[in-house]
Each structure stands twice: as structure tokens, then as C-alpha cells.
């Protein structure tokens, strides 16, 4: 099974964005992972629509927007207009997850939902079939460099079973704790999309295209 790799652009060099984007394309990255953080849902701030628009103006690589925010709905259209391919808010703060997913789809892009490590898969019971992507956090979101949380592999396997039961083609993405040691285990458990950050392709010295190729080999 092919595993898609998504480059966490917040780990790149904002002063060298075009060079990073060129290297990502040369390395045949599948997606750009774009972190949005509001300082409320997670304890730091992240990226914004204008930054996404600048990225989109320089590349045609699909972009997944990971919305780690308390209230994503008012900003969906802003990120669609800026060039998002997939928008993935967290389920935890949503009062109406199905409504939010439909709002994303009606805006003309694909819709995902993200789950924190302690959030049960049962929260997806009546919305999973509507998703294009399910993201499982393998660390607590918003804090860089945390280690993989135990129990992640079982959760991936359980999520893969649920997705397969729907008969739908839904990405199972893992964000956080992805390393050459853990990545192949995540794929073996059922993941088919991994977010690559400081533990893989952005680990200095960052020759991104070579790091992407090297990391792909660890997944075989």
C-alpha cells in the first residue's frame, strides 16, 4: 500500500520558502501539511491564510490545512480561497461535527477530522463515512518534539478497521511522533499518510529532497 507523505511546512524555513518548496517538489512529496493554531485550542500560534496563499502561488502540491483552533467554521472559506485542498479541523471543540464537515465540502474542498490521543474513535460513529481523511494525533497537538504516545499503534489499527468497514477511500493520517523507527510501524498498523516534520525530513541538515527519498525507503 502506497503511503502518502505530507511535509509539515511550519518546520521549514520561512525565509527560504521558495527553496523549500522546490526541494519538496523535487523529492516528490505528496502533500504539504499546513498547521493553523490559535493559542487557545493549543498552546501556541501557527500559520494563517496569507501564508497559505503565498505557498499556493509557488506550487501545485496539494495542501492539507490542519486547523488546531477552537472555532474553525468562520475561517473555512478564507483557507479555501487561499488554496487549500483538504481542511481538517479537530473534532474536540466542534458542537456540530457533521455541519462543519459539510460546510468544508460545500466550499469545494475535501474534508477531514483530527482526533487527539485521548479522544475515542467512537466520536466518529455517525460522521466517518462523510470524511475524506481521518487524522490521528500521536502526540498532544501544538507542542513540537514530543515523543510518540503509547497506544497509538492500537488506535491506528482500530481506525483502519473502522475505515475498511465503511468501504470508503478515506486517508488515515498520523501526525506527531513520525520517525524512521516509528513510521513503518504506523504503516503496518494501517496508516497511509504520515506527517513529516523535524523527526524526518526537516531534521538538519535539511536536504529535503534526499530526506524524503531516504524516509520513503524506511517504509518499504
Q: Which residues are catalytic?
A: 35, 175
Quick one: DSSP state of residue 122?
Answer: G
Using alpha carbons, select from 146, 142, 132, 124 the residue that is nearest to residue 104: 132
Instruction: List 112's β-bridge partners, or say none.
Output: 133
Q: What are the φ and ψ backbone dihedral angles of 94, each rounded to 5 degrees?
A: -80, 125
Bond into 205 cis (ω within 30): yes
Q: What are the distances in angstroms from CA 212 to CA 134, 153, 167? A: 23, 23, 30
Residues 175 and 86: their CA atoms lie apart, in Å, by 15
Amino acid at each position: 500500500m502506497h503511503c502518502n507523505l505530507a511535509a509539515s511546512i511550519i518546520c521549514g524555513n520561512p525565509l527560504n520558502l521558495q527553496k523549500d518548496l522546490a526541494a519538496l517538489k523535487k523529492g516528490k512529496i505528496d502533500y504539504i501539511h499546513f498547521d493553523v493554531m490559535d493559542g487557545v485550542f493549543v498552546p501556541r500560534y501557527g500559520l494563517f491564510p496569507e501564508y497559505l496563499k503565498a505557498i499556493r502561488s509557488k506550487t501545485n502540491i496539494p495542501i492539507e490545512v490542519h486547523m488546531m483552533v477552537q472555532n474553525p467554521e468562520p475561517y473555512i472559506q478564507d483557507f479555501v480561497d487561499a488554496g487549500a485542498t483538504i481542511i481538517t479541523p479537530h473534532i474536540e471543540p466542534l458542537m456540530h461535527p457533521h455541519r462543519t464537515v459539510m460546510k468544508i465540502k460545500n466550499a469545494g474542498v475535501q474534508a477531514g477530522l483530527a482526533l487527539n490521543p485521548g479522544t475515542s474513535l467512537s466520536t466518529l460513529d455517525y460522521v466517518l463515512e462523510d470524511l475524506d481523511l481521518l487524522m490521528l494525533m500521536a502526540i498532544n497537538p501544538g507542542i513540537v518534539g514530543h515523543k510518540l504516545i503509547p497506544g497509538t499503534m492500537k488506535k491506528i489499527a482500530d481506525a483502519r478497521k473502522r475505515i475498511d468497514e465503511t468501504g470508503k477511500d478515506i486517508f488515515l493520517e498520523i501526525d506527531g511522533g513520525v520517525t524512521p523507527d516509528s513510521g513503518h510501524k504506523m504503516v503496518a498498523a494501517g496508516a497511509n499518510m504520515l506527517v513529516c516534520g523535524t523527526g524526518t525530513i526537516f531534521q538538519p541538515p535539511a536536504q529535503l529532497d534526499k530526506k524524503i527519498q531516504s524516509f520513503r525507503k524506511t517504509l518499504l
